[in-house]
Amino acid sequence: MKKGIVVLFMLLVTASTMLAQKTGYKNESPLDFQKMMTKKKGVLIDLRTPDEIKKGKIKGATEIDFLAVDFEKEADKLDKKKTYYVYCAGGGRSADAAEILVKKGFKNVVNLTGGFSAWKKANLEIELNKNGRKEIKTCGPFLEVLAVLVLKH
C-alpha cells in the first residue's frame, strides 16, 4: 500500500514537472505574482487595450496591447534575458502572450492567473488614470472613493 502511494506521488510530481516544462512559463496567483516581482526584478507588462487600461493598471506596468497588429514586433524588441511579468484583464490573453514569448526564446515569463480582475479582487495596489492624474489605490474601496473626493476639491 505504501509503495502504491509513493509511486502515485512520484507520478504526480513528474506530470506537474512535465506540464511546467511544456508551457515554459509560470502561472501565479496575485499574491505570489506580487511577491515574485519584489524578489526578482523584471519588466511588468500590461497586455490590455488602451480602453481597458483607462480603468487602472498595476503600478509601473509597461503597456503593450496584445490585440494590436504589431504585438509580435513589439515583443521582438524586448530583451530575452530579462524576467517578464505579464497580465491582461482575466488571464487568457496574457497566457497566450506568455506562450508566444516562450516560443520566441524568452526564458523567464510569469503570467498573472486571473489577470487584473484577480489583482483588484485581492485588493492589491493599482494606479488609476483619470484626466491625466495618477492616483494610487492602496486601501479598500471606501478609502479610494474618499481619496477621489478629496482630490476633486
What the chain holds in terms of domains, given with CATH numbers, is 26-124 (3.40.250.10)
Q: What is the pLDDT of residue 34?
A: 97
Collapsing DSSP states into helix, strand and coil, what is residue 97? helix
Q: For residue 140, what are the CA distances in angstroms to 31, 36, 85, 144, 145?
A: 16, 23, 24, 6, 9
pLDDT in tens, 24-64: 999 999 999 999 999 999 999 999 999 999 999 999 999 99
CA distance 32 to 106: 21
Q: State residue 35's pLDDT score.
A: 97
Residue 4 has pLDDT above 60, yes or no: no
